[in-house]
């Protein structure tokens, strides 16, 4: 049998001469003649065991047989390492355990990839197939620990602010709107189906109607979509809703929650309040509603400065009310014509026809469009823009949307290429005043940008009648380092406003009842003003754990094709199971697992 009274990283120089009992995995074995050294590993880290035949020849004999990943129990005396043998990289590098008893708790076949190697080159497929071994790797285990810690930190924070955690159902109802549902056949009611929730949106609003006041949940959500790199079929949301509050309350709450989270999880002090930009400003300055503010390169409107050139592209653009915008790269002395051509090629991927540039060197102003300007015009332009030596101005000209999209991608690429992103820099940004409606091009009518329960901007209620397409919404997103990490809105609680919105959306009573069902009825029983927000918790954890791979922050993730390589799921099931559910498969396609 075994005993364990310490974990591998608990022991320090203070414990010297103590007898201790440790359990763990053999991380590495080194034979130095008759002396055998084992790095013993557990969840917490490593500790060196020494097997010396003069202390116990029995233990030393057993140690000879040990292989990587065997599980052992060892008893021994904590000892100071010999001078010069300390390992400063190791938490317990000053000490070692002189083992006087060892027992093998379980053996291991050779693992398909090494565990001790932190910077693994093993393919992700193989790691996911053997995820239970992958989890032993420090790199992954740290992320699992971070996730656990961040969950608890958030829960405690919200609890301290009087939020109740309420679990809403997983067996829900299929809704005709939104993304594709995962369905669950009902056995008791043939032909009827539950659906897995895409989000707890309706439930959280019902909780407000139910007087819950302040609700949160770390909610499992499901979308049967074709997956992108940072998506999973099941994902986690920090779902928050509150009554009798305003968006400033939500901003405050979230800022303090994140301040607490980053302090406790990363020991980083983030600055509050966060910067705010309206949707329009963000699009003007960064061409994106989720700009990365870790670097500058704000867009400049160049129309006024450029209107006297003879470049027909610019002149046409001005005539057609298109955009002429650009941004400045500092310290661009290395940006050769060749490099700038490459950026032009890159920009063309986003339908931009060309990319102009103006470079201010210590000698002169260079430009690939210099022939369309007088020297004086170029000098005035660089002066107006307060360009400094070695600044390079990139200029795009096209329809507004194309310019915005191309410059946004270009700005991000330049930042990456030129290492403009500092480590451990966290730039938060609220985007507010989103549009309420967009035009549904196919049907020539208005549709909601978010959902039809999003409140119009409080200052723009009057414009609903006169100029609805330009009405802003009481909707907001939170952006961190170029990722949208949260989004939310004030909900409509006034039935007059709600009816006006339905009217503008051209929905009949039947449409309303079919699409929103009992929820409209629920709203009529005394709905408090309420608003909320939902954080993409997996993405937030990617940032906390400094990884670009969403699968790193999920214990048992699925692939981009929604496969669980370890469990080999989904799978064929028995005909009896289907019969009992009153369904049949129209097609059967066996999955080939490698």
Among 147, 247, 290, 491, binds a second copy (CB under 8 A): 147
Q: Which stretch binds a second copy (CB under 8 A): 153-161, 310-318, 322-330, 429-437?
A: 153-161
Is position 453 an interface residue for a second copy (rule: CB under 8 A)? no
Furthest C-alpha separation in the chain: 94
Q: Mark residues 112-141: x for contact with a second copy by CB under 8 A, - for none.
A: ------------------xxxxxxx----x
Pairing of strands 214-222, 164-165: parallel
Is position 167 an interface residue for a second copy (rule: CB under 8 A)? yes
Question: Considering beta carbons, is residue 74 or 415 the nearer one to a second copy?
Answer: 74
* Binding residues for a second copy restricted to 8-37, rule: CB under 8 A: 23, 25
Per the listing, tokens 């608890």 go with 152
What is the distance, to the nearest Å, from the Cα of residue 17 to the centroid of all Cα atoms in its chain? 47
86-111 exposure pattern, b = at least 16 Cβ within 10 A, e = fewer: eeeeebbebbbbbbbebeeeeeeeee
Radius of gyration of the chain (CA): 31
Is position 194 an interface residue for a second copy (rule: CB under 8 A)? yes
Is position 561 an interface residue for a second copy (rule: CB under 8 A)? yes
Helices (DSSP H) in 50-101: which residue ranges?
57-65
Is position 512 an interface residue for a second copy (rule: CB under 8 A)? no
Among 94, 224, 260, 484, binds a second copy (CB under 8 A): 224
Taking the complex as a whole, the smallest distance from the CB of residue 519 to a second copy amounts, in Å, to 9
Helix (H) or strand (E) segment spanning residue 576: helix 575-580
The closest alpha carbon to 408, from 304, 334, 297, belongs to 297
Taking the complex as a whole, the smallest distance from the CB of residue 171 to a second copy amounts, in Å, to 6
Is position 385 an interface residue for a second copy (rule: CB under 8 A)? no
Is position 206 an interface residue for a second copy (rule: CB under 8 A)? yes
Is position 43 an interface residue for a second copy (rule: CB under 8 A)? yes
Question: Considering beta carbons, is residue 419 or 588 the nearer one to a second copy?
Answer: 588
Helix (H) or strand (E) segment spanning residue 454: none
480-492 exposure pattern, b = at least 16 Cβ within 10 A, e = fewer: bbbbbbbbbbbbb
Q: Mark residues 271-310: x for contact with a second copy by CB under 8 A, - for none.
A: ----------------------------------------
Q: Which stretch binds a second copy (CB under 8 A): 143-151, 266-274, 290-298, 301-309?
A: 143-151
Pairing of strands 300-301, 275-278: unpaired
Is position 520 an interface residue for a second copy (rule: CB under 8 A)? no
* Binding residues for a second copy restricted to 50-79, rule: CB under 8 A: 69-71, 73
Taking the complex as a whole, the smallest distance from the CB of residue 523 to a second copy amounts, in Å, to 8
Among 165, 298, 304, 440, binds a second copy (CB under 8 A): 165
| 8 A C-beta contact, residue 35 and residue 52 | yes
> What contacts 24+ positions apart, CB below 8 Å, involve 583-587?
583/185
Is position 592 an interface residue for a second copy (rule: CB under 8 A)? no
Is position 109 an interface residue for a second copy (rule: CB under 8 A)? yes
Per the listing, tokens 């895409």 go with 198
* Binding residues for a second copy restricted to 535-554, rule: CB under 8 A: 554
How far is Cα 516 from Cα 214, in angstroms, rounded to an integer?
24
| 8 A C-beta contact, residue 224 and residue 546 | no
How far is Cα 142 from Cα 147, in angstroms, rounded to an integer?
9
Taking the complex as a whole, the smallest distance from the CB of residue 270 to a second copy amounts, in Å, to 23
Q: Number of residues in contact with a second copy, rule: CB under 8 A?
A: 129
């Amino acid at each position: 049998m075994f005993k364990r009274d310490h974990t591998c990283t608990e022991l320090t120089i203070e414990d010297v001469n103590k007898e201790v009992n440790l359990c763990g995995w053999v991380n590495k074995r080194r034979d130095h003649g008759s002396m055998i050294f084992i790095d013993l590993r557990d969840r917490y880290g490593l500790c060196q065991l020494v097997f010396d035949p003069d202390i116990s020849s029995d233990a030393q004999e057993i140690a000879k047989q040990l292989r990587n990943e065997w599980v052992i129990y060892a008893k021994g005396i904590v000892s100071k390492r010999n001078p010069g043998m300390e390992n400063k990289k190791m938490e317990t590098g000053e000490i070692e355990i002189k083992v006087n008893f060892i027992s093998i708790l379980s053996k291991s076949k050779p693992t398909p990839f090494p565990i001790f190697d932190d910077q693994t080159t093993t393919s992700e497929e193989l790691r996911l197939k053997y995820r239970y071994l992958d989890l032993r790797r420090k790199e992954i285990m740290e992320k699992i620990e971070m996730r656990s810690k961040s969950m608890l930190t958030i829960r405690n924070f919200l609890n301290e602010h009087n939020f109740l955690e309420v679990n809403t159902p997983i067996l829900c109802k299929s809704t005709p709107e939104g993304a594709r549902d995962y369905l669950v056949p009902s056995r008791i009611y043939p032909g009827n189906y539950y659906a897995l929730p895409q989000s707890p949106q309706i439930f959280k609003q019902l909780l407000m109607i139910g007087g819950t006041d302040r609700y949160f949940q770390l909610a499992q959500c499901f979308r049967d979509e074709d997956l992108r790199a940072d998506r999973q079929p099941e994902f986690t949301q920090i779902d928050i809703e509150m009554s009798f509050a305003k968006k400033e309350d939500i901003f405050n709450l979230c800022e303090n929650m994140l301040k607490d989270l980053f302090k406790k999880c990363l020991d980083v002090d983030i600055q509050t309040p966060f910067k705010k930009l309206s949707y329009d400003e963000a699009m003007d300055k960064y061409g994106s509603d989720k700009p990365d503010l870790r670097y500058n390169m704000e867009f400049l409107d160049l129309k006024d400065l450029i209107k006297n050139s003879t470049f027909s592209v610019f002149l046409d653009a001005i005539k057609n009310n298109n955009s002429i915008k650009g941004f400045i790269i500092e310290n661009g002395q290395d940006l050769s014509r060749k490099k700038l051509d490459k950026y032009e090629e890159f920009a063309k991927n986003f339908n931009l026809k060309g990319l102009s540039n103006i470079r201010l060197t210590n000698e002169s102003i260079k430009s690939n469009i210099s022939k369309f300007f007088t020297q004086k015009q170029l000098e005035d332009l660089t002066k107006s823009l307060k360009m400094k030596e070695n600044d390079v101005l990139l200029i795009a000209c096209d329809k507004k949307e194309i310019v915005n999209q191309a410059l946004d991608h270009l700005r991000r690429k330049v930042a990456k290429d030129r290492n403009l992103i500092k480590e451990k820099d966290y730039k938060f940004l609220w985007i507010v005043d989103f549009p309420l409606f967009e035009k549904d091009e196919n049907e020539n009518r208005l549709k909601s940008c978010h959902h039809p329960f999003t409140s119009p901007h409080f200052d723009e209620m009057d414009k609903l009648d006169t100029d609805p397409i330009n009405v802003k919404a009481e909707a907001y997103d939170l952006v961190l380092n170029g990722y949208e990490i949260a989004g939310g809105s004030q909900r409509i609680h006034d039935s007059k406003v709600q009816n006006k919105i339905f009217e503008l959306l051209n929905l009949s009573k039947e449409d309303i009842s079919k699409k929103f069902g009992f929820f409209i009825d629920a709203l009529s029983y005394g709905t408090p003003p309420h608003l909320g927000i939902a954080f993409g918790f997996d993405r937030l954890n990617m940032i906390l754990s400094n990884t670009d791979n969403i699968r790193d922050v999920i214990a048992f993730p699925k692939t981009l094709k929604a496969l669980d390589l370890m469990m080999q799921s989904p799978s064929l099931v028995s005909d009896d199971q289907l019969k009992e559910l009153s369904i049949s498969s129209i097609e059967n396609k066996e999955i080939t697992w490698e």
